[in-house]
């Protein structure tokens, strides 16, 4: 008996897809575009009849969160067997899950990961997450989240890589490589068997929600879309990211899950995206709530014609697409295109050849010592030292430490917003980590209660206070009207300061918080994000100087909620902020500057930048920028050299500064290195409203330094013939 062409692995994938499409009914095609959650016996019949193409393992899945009861692989195999052996064509399901910051080995929240400014560390973290998830039978992870974060009230700033399009794009590439294991710039023909498919989300502009309130409406100009919100997605696509999630919200009245221009024209046509687009949860059906669709059928028509290929959790595609095709409202060519895209990824994952998971695989892959070591290194490198008057690093001999604060012995606060596969008891708390790091002569007092803490602190050399947010205060649907610290925490630091012993404040959080007063009162402030399973150990690594802090802020820290939105790469305005000058863009009741600028972070050593030069390179227009970085302190350390550019005069107002290059630089005490940044046309141009690069001749300014306020700058000129002076 000859096997059908689509089952023959020796044939090219395009041929297999074509063969399969020719055999499918309209209903089976719609089934491939239908994703449903927590598949169990209730869905067996639908799977058997080809009505479900993908499973979503949601948080509250049958598997639950208790590791002992976790049966992902078994449950997946049971249902996969029905799809493969009992459905007419035997097309396997693809299973997706929110693998956002680690899997079993919970990594720091993405905003923390971003503070490493290291695509390599993020790639390493996502490699671990991918291997752990795949061992549980998962094929597809719903990350990275690439929404530009300009409003810290929006709880989902925790899930992204911060405010800068270039930084987010570079980190996105690392995240995608870690998940998919490919280093090509195209969607691979075949994914490695131990990795998962990535999903860039939420396409696009979701973070611009008015008032920082999740799911809210947005107004974003084409200029800002092309220059700020879209570039990280383009970077992910260029790294081969195989899927994209269309967002919940609308821009100027057009919901993204029905946005023909952005999904169809930009993503699929201009960028040539060859993977598939899945809607966010329920977003296709919600077109009715948005008031652009009259009913389910209309919603399916709008979403499918706009470019959404797979419908997450509404069944609206399944129920309506066949009739819509019969009625000529959706073309069969469009339906085939969507199904072909989904099948292509299923083939690339190897599902037709290897549909099943190994139920015992996770034992050998989860929580490996080397994974824990990598995640600990990532955690320590993500922490940002915001202030230090010399109290840090702590000496580990002969001192008495007092540890207090609501988060000092908390596991959940270290976890972060997406940890469905982490186990709380596997987290090392800060208290446990410090206790484990003490020298033989060091003593540790621990106390939860403020009054007792103050008494104990009096008998100590240093007080460490762990404050900030619980993990559940950020993430989806966790928006706040204020970025003030939770109630009572400032009062705790204020009370502690009366004791005249050095205070080290460790802040856990999923968003920038107002640390204005705390920074005044404390001797040292370390922002630790929600640092994951090894995060307590990472804090101890920093406090005791085993790791010299190198984290740098991927997002501006305002002085108050009222300053929001505050981001470094803003347009200049006709009345730029000038200190102490009226009739300029400023407030009368606050300093203009942020509390901590984008890119900021201290180390236990100091760095100096000098000898900044620009020189024309052979390829025009491209310039090279060189700078010397010196470690001027007395211990080895790592800084992040950051290169910012401004197009001084252009047809549209260009931002006062834009990050165009960065590099983590490790230097021994006293050592100097020369760093090179190459600025090509993409760094010197902006995008017009159609997304085309525009490079205008004229003067540019360039700065290199340790944060977005870098003072060391120079100028260069692009002459009209495209050469550089
Ligand atoms: C809704 C969230 O917006 C999205 O980020 C997530 O991936 C899906 N739910 C699936 O859980």
Residue 668 sits in a domain of what CATH number?
2.60.40.10
- Ligand 1 site, residue 147, Cβ cutoff 6 A: no
pLDDT of 68 > 60? The answer is: no
The closest of 138, 197, 191 to 13, measured between CA atoms, is 191
Q: Give nearest CA residue, ligand 1 atom 1.
A: 281
- Model pLDDT for residues 185-208, shown as the tens digit of each residue: 688 889 999 999 999 999 999 999
Is 697 within 8 Å of 722 (Cβ atoms)? yes
Which residues span the domain enclosing 524? Answer: 369-548
Residue 248 alpha carbon, nearest atom of ligand 1: 3
CA of 418 to the centre of ligand 1 (A): 10
Q: In testing the pocket of ligand 1, which one of 476, 477, 478, 479 has its CB within 8 Å of the most ligand atoms?
A: 476
For 235, how many CA atoms within 13 A lie in the half-sphere containing its CB? 27
- Ligand 1 site, residue 142, Cβ cutoff 6 A: yes
42 φ/ψ angles, rounded to the nearest 5 degrees: -60, -25
Confidence category of residue 140, pLDDT binned at 50, 70, 90: very high
Confidence category of residue 70, pLDDT binned at 50, 70, 90: low
Q: Is residue 559, in this structure, part of any structural domain at all? A: no
pLDDT of 63 > 70? The answer is: no
- Ligand 1 site, residue 140, Cβ cutoff 6 A: no
Is 511 within 8 Å of 158 (Cβ atoms)? yes
Q: In testing the pocket of ligand 1, which one of 201, 206, 420 has its CB within 8 Å of the most ligand atoms?
A: 201
Strands 607-616 and 462-468: unpaired
3-state secondary structure (DSSP) of residue 158:
helix
The closest of 83, 124, 167 to 643, measured between CA atoms, is 167
| Percent residues over pLDDT 90 in the chain | 88
Q: Is residue 588, in this structure, part of any structural domain at all? A: no
Specify the length of the chain in residues.
725
Is 157 within 8 Å of 148 (Cβ atoms)? no
Distance, CA of 103 to CA of 126 (rounded, Å): 9
Q: Provide the CATH number for the domain around residue 525.
A: 3.40.50.1700
Q: How far is CA 445 from CA 333, 411, 452, 489, in A?
A: 70, 19, 10, 20
The closest of 303, 207, 217, 298 to 253, measured between CA atoms, is 217
Q: How many domains does the chain have?
A: 3
CA of 129 to the centre of ligand 1 (A): 17
Please name the residue that has the structure tokens 């947010």: 469
Domain boundary among 548, 575, 591: 548
3-state secondary structure (DSSP) of residue 616:
strand
Residues 188 and 256 grouped into a single domain: yes
Distance, CA of 554 to CA of 708 (rounded, Å): 10
Q: Is residue 581, in this structure, part of any structural domain at all? A: no
Instruction: Tally Cβ neighbours within 10 Å of residue 587.
Output: 12
Taking 3-state DSSP, the helix, strand and coil percentages for the chain, each rounded to the nearest 5, stand at 35, 20, 45
- Ligand 1 site, residue 282, Cβ cutoff 6 A: no
Distance, CA of 21 to CA of 285 (rounded, Å): 26
- Model pLDDT for residues 25-62, shown as the tens digit of each residue: 999 999 999 999 999 999 999 999 999 999 999 964 33
The sign one gets for the Cα dihedral 525, 527, 530, 536 is negative
pLDDT of 139 > 90? The answer is: yes
Distance of CA 157 to the CA centre of its chain: 8
- Rg of the chain over CA atoms, in angstroms? 26
Residue 96 alpha carbon, nearest atom of ligand 1: 10
Cross-sheet strand order for the sheet of 524-527: 384-388, 524-527, 503-508, 462-468, 400-404, 443-447
Is 526 within 8 Å of 507 (Cβ atoms)? yes
**According to the model, what pLDDT value does residue 464 have?**
96
Question: In the predicted model, what is the mean pLDDT of residues 365-373?
Answer: 97
Q: Is residue 130, in this structure, part of any structural domain at all? A: no
CA of 281 to the centre of ligand 1 (A): 6
Residues 520 and 390 grouped into a single domain: yes
Domain boundary among 356, 381, 397: 356
- From first CA to last CA, the distance across the chain in angstroms is 72
482 contacts: CB under 8 Å, gap ≥ 6:
153, 514, 561
Question: In the predicted model, what is the mean pLDDT of residues 680-702?
Answer: 95
User: Is 524 exposed, middle or buried, given 0-12, 13-18 or 19+ CB atoms closer than 10 A?
Assistant: buried
**According to the model, what pLDDT value does residue 722 have?**
61
- Ligand 1 site, residue 286, Cβ cutoff 6 A: no
- Ligand 1 site, residue 476, Cβ cutoff 6 A: yes
pLDDT of 511 > 70? The answer is: yes
Residues 379 and 352 grouped into a single domain: no
Question: In the predicted model, what is the mean pLDDT of residues 312-326?
Answer: 98
3-state secondary structure (DSSP) of residue 719:
coil
Residues 326 and 373 grouped into a single domain: no
Strands 199-203 and 140-141: unpaired
Residue 100 alpha carbon, nearest atom of ligand 1: 7
698 contacts: CB under 8 Å, gap ≥ 6:
647, 648, 649, 650, 717, 718
CA of 27 to the centre of ligand 1 (A): 26
Q: In testing the pocket of ligand 1, which one of 280, 419, 477 has its CB within 8 Å of the most ligand atoms?
A: 280
702 φ/ψ angles, rounded to the nearest 5 degrees: -140, 140
Higher per-residue pLDDT: 372 or 74: 372
Is 716 within 8 Å of 623 (Cβ atoms)? yes
3-state secondary structure (DSSP) of residue 565:
coil
- Ligand 1 site, residue 280, Cβ cutoff 6 A: yes
Distance of CA 402 to the CA centre of its chain: 35
Helix then strand count (H, E) for the chain reads 22, 25
Residues 499 and 634 grouped into a single domain: no
3-state secondary structure (DSSP) of residue 537:
helix
574 contacts: CB under 8 Å, gap ≥ 6:
none
Reading the block at residue 556, the tokens are: 């501006």
Residue 202 alpha carbon, nearest atom of ligand 1: 5
Residues 248 and 375 grouped into a single domain: no
Residue 159 alpha carbon, nearest atom of ligand 1: 5
225 DSSP assignment: I
3-state secondary structure (DSSP) of residue 298:
helix
Q: Is residue 181, in this structure, part of any structural domain at all? A: yes
Q: Give nearest CA residue, ligand 1 atom 7.
A: 142
Highest mean pLDDT out of 253-262, 359-368, 417-426, 441-450: 253-262
Confidence category of residue 582, pLDDT binned at 50, 70, 90: confident
Q: How far is CA 623 from CA 120, 350, 617, 716, in A?
A: 25, 44, 5, 9
pLDDT of 573 > 90? The answer is: yes
Q: Going along 548-697, which residue ranges are E strands?
A: 607-616, 623-631, 637-647, 658-667, 672-679, 686-687, 693-694
CA of 227 to the centre of ligand 1 (A): 25
Residues 252 and 346 grouped into a single domain: yes
500 contacts: CB under 8 Å, gap ≥ 6:
none
The sign one gets for the Cα dihedral 597, 471, 209, 304 is positive
CA of 51 to the centre of ligand 1 (A): 22
**According to the model, what pLDDT value does residue 447 have?**
86
Q: How far is CA 36 from CA 198, 277, 289, in A?
A: 19, 15, 21
Reading the block at residue 83, the tokens are: 């799809």
Residues 383 and 449 grouped into a single domain: yes
82 DSSP assignment: I
Distance, CA of 145 to CA of 441 (rounded, Å): 46
- Ligand 1 site, residue 201, Cβ cutoff 6 A: yes
Known catalytic residues? 280
Q: Provide the CATH number for the domain around residue 256.
A: 3.20.20.300
Reading the block at residue 98, the tokens are: 């929110």
Residue 199 alpha carbon, nearest atom of ligand 1: 7
Confidence category of residue 457, pLDDT binned at 50, 70, 90: confident
Residues 334 and 375 grouped into a single domain: no
Distance, CA of 493 to CA of 635 (rounded, Å): 30
pLDDT of 324 > 80? The answer is: yes
**pTM of the predicted structure, to 2 decimals:** 0.97
338 DSSP assignment: H
CA of 453 to the centre of ligand 1 (A): 41
On average, the pLDDT of the chain sits at: 94
Residues 630 and 705 grouped into a single domain: yes
Task: Pick the range with the lowest mean pLDDT from 75-89, 494-508, 576-590.
Answer: 576-590
Task: Pick the range with the lowest mean pLDDT from 180-189, 421-430, 454-463, 563-572.
Answer: 180-189
Q: Is residue 102, in this structure, part of any structural domain at all? A: no
426 DSSP assignment: G
Domain boundary among 521, 548, 575: 548
CA of 653 to the centre of ligand 1 (A): 36
Residues 302 and 438 grouped into a single domain: no
Q: Is residue 231, in this structure, part of any structural domain at all? A: yes
- Ligand 1 site, residue 206, Cβ cutoff 6 A: no
Please name the residue that has the structure tokens 């419908």: 311
**According to the model, what pLDDT value does residue 60 have?**
45
Reading the block at residue 179, the tokens are: 């998940």
- Ligand 1 site, residue 409, Cβ cutoff 6 A: no
Residues 180 and 316 grouped into a single domain: yes
CA of 574 to the centre of ligand 1 (A): 40
**According to the model, what pLDDT value does residue 450 have?**
67
pLDDT of 478 > 60? The answer is: yes
Looking at the DSSP assignment, which residues form a beta bridge with residue 494?
none
Q: Is residue 573, in this structure, part of any structural domain at all? A: no
Q: In testing the pocket of ligand 1, which one of 35, 55, 98 has its CB within 8 Å of the most ligand atoms?
A: 98
Confidence category of residue 71, pLDDT binned at 50, 70, 90: low
- Ligand 1 site, residue 98, Cβ cutoff 6 A: yes
């Amino acid at each position: 008996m000859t096997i059908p062409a689509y089952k023959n692995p020796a044939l090219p994938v395009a041929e297999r897809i074509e063969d399969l499409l020719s055999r499918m009914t309209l209903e089976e095609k719609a089934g491939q575009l239908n994703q449903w959650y927590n598949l169990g016996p209730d869905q067996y019949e639908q799977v058997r009849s080809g009505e479900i193409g993908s499973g979503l393992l949601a948080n509250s899945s049958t598997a639950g969160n208790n590791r002992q009861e976790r049966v992902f692989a078994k449950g997946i195999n049971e249902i996969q067997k029905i799809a493969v052996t009992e459905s007419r064509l035997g097309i396997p399901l693809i299973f997706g899950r929110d693998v956002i910051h680690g899997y079993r080995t919970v990594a720091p929240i993405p905003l923390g990961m971003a503070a490493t400014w290291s695509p390599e560390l993020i790639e390493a973290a996502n490699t671990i997450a991918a291997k752990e998830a795949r061992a549980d039978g998962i094929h597809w992870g719903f990350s990275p989240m690439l929404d530009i974060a300009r409003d810290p009230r929006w709880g989902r700033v925790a899930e992204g890589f911060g405010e800068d399009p270039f930084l987010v794009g570079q980190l996105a590439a690392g995240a995608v490589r870690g998940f998919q294991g490919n280093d090509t710039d195209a969607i691979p023909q075949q994914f490695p068997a131990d990795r998962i498919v990535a999903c860039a989300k939420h396409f696009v502009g979701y973070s611009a929600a008015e008032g920082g309130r999740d799911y809210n409406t947005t107004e974003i100009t084409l200029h800002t879309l092309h220059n700020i919100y879209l570039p990280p997605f383009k970077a992910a696509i260029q790294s081969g990211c195989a899927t994209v999630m269309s967002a919940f919200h609308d821009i100027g009245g057009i919901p993204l899950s029905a946005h023909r221009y952005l999904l169809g024209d930009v993503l699929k046509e201009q960028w040539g995206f060859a993977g598939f687009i899945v809607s966010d949860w329920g977003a296709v059906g919600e077109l009715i709530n948005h008031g652009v669709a009259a009913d389910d059928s209309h919603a399916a028509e709008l979403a499918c014609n706009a470019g959404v290929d797979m419908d997450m959790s509404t069944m609206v595609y399944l129920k309506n697409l066949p009739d819509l095709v019969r009625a000529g409202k959706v073309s069969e060519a469009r339906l085939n295109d969507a199904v072909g895209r989904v099948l292509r990824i299923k083939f690339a994952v190897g599902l037709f050849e290897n549909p099943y998971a190994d139920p015992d695989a996770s034992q050998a892959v989860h929580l490996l010592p080397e994974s824990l070591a990598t995640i600990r290194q990532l955690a320590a490198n993500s922490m940002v030292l915001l202030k230090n008057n010399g109290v840090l690093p702590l000496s580990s001999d002969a001192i008495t430490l007092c540890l207090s604060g609501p988060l000092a012995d908390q596991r959940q606060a270290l976890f972060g917003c997406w940890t469905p596969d982490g186990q709380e008891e596997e987290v090392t708390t800060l208290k446990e980590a410090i206790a484990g790091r003490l020298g033989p002569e060091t003593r540790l007092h621990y106390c939860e209660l403020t009054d007792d803490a103050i008494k104990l602190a009096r008998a100590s050399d240093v007080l460490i206070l762990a404050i900030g947010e619980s993990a559940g205060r950020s993430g989806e649907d966790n928006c706040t009207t204020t970025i003030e610290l939770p109630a009572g925490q400032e009062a705790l630091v204020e009370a502690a300061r009366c004791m005249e012993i050095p205070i080290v404040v460790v802040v856990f959080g999923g968003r920038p918080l107002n640390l204005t007063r705390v920074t005044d009162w404390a001797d040292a402030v370390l922002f630790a994000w929600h640092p994951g399973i090894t995060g307590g150990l990472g804090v101890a690594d920093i406090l005791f100087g085993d790791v010299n802090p190198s984290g740098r802020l991927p997002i501006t820290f305002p002085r108050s909620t009222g300053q929001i939105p505050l981001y470094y790469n803003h347009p200049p305005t006709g009345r730029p902020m000038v200190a102490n000058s009226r009739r300029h863009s400023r407030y009368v009741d606050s300093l203009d500057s942020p509390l901590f600028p984008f890119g900021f972070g201290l180390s236990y050593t100091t760095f100096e930048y000098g000898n900044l030069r620009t020189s024309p390179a052979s390829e025009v227009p491209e310039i090279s920028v060189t700078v010397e970085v010196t470690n001027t302190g007395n211990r080895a350390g790592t800084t992040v050299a950051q290169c910012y550019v401004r197009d001084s005069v252009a047809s549209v107002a260009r931002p006062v500064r834009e990050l165009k290059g960065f590099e983590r630089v490790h230097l021994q005490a006293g050592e100097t290195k020369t760093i090179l940044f190459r600025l090509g046309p993409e760094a010197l141009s902006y995008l017009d409203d159609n997304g085309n690069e525009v490079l205008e001749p004229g003067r540019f300014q360039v700065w290199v330094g340790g944060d977005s306020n870098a003072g060391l700058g120079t100028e260069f000129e692009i002459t009209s013939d495209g050469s550089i002076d």
